[in-house]
Amino acid sequence: MKNKSQSFTLIELLIVITIIAVLASLLLPSLRTAREQAKRLSCVANLSQIGIAMFAYAGDNDTAIPVPDYRNNSNYNWAGILVGRSYLTAPTGTSGWAPTKDASVFKCASGLDDYVLTSTDAAATSFSDPQTARPYQGRVYGTNKYVHSWYAANAASGSRDYPMFRVSGDFSQDWNNWTYVPRMIYIKSPVSTVGILDGNCSGNLYNGYRISARHNGATTTNLLYWDGHVGSAVTLKGLPGPSSAGYNWSPVWLNNFNPNIKWMITQ
């Protein structure tokens, strides 16, 4: 009696290949979802650490909130202040250095690191525009080094209605004096007022497209609130956005983002 061949027939191979293809089609979406979820959670962890640093800074400075940036040529910003004052550590380099490839508390896993935004770059045209996911640089306080940040400050220029606003480096203008720097105790609803978020702003959040929809298929934004917790909001629903990238938002635009999310300290 002859032994049967132990090799696969062509039909059997095709059946195996078909099964593998079906399993792959079922598993790949789940793997993509799991990968995106991991990136989102990494971003949440970053924002949580930034929140802890903000509270530590406020505790050492009579509840004052770090300024988003200085209105002069010093280029200091909130991220550079936290690093320069040793509340956080992050990779630093000279002005114009390529985006850091190293891990950083200011680097969102869903952000882009092809280049650093400058004031001459084209403005974003939507919340999911790649420009909103690129970093900007800020000078580290007390040094000539710079740090990259993929996160935006809920800030305004010349308005004390927002938790963070720009000040002049020499505090020459009375309203820019430290006396007027917002403090955490002034925030009426810290549990629902935004502090730091996915985006690319250190001066005027309401100027054009600054908020970044970079999670869950470019539909949601992570937000750090002034009570220290981090949440996610669906960015592309309920906020139509400016008609063009250069359109200045009013507080009404930001309030339409979500009725449960506050942007000004008096809300």
pLDDT digit string (tens) for the chain, length 267 residues: 455 555 667 777 777 788 887 777 776 666 677 788 889 999 999 999 999 999 999 999 888 888 877 766 567 889 999 999 999 999 998 877 788 888 999 999 999 988 888 766 767 777 788 888 899 888 898 888 999 999 999 887 766 788 887 766 544 444 344 556 778 888 999 999 999 999 887 666 766 678 888 998 888 899 999 999 999 988 755 455 554 444 445 556 666 667 788 888 888
Exposed (0-12), middle (13-18) or buried (19+): which is 138, by Cβ within 10 Å?
buried
Listed in order, strand segments (DSSP E) in 132-198 are 136-139, 146-149, 151-153, 155-156, 164-165, 194-198
In a domain, 266, yes or no: no
Q: Phi, psi (5° rounding) for residue 101?
A: -95, -5
Let me know if residue 158 belongs to a domain: yes
In a domain, 81, yes or no: yes
Does residue 260 fall inside a structural domain?
no
Q: 197 lies in a domain?
A: yes
Is the residue at 262 inside a domain?
Answer: no
Number of domains in the chain: 1
Q: Domain for residue 2, yes or no?
A: no
156: containing domain:
10-255
Q: Please report the pLDDT score of residue 20 as a whole number.
A: 82
The helix (run of H) or strand (run of E) holding residue 223 is strand 220-225
Residue 87 covered by a domain: yes
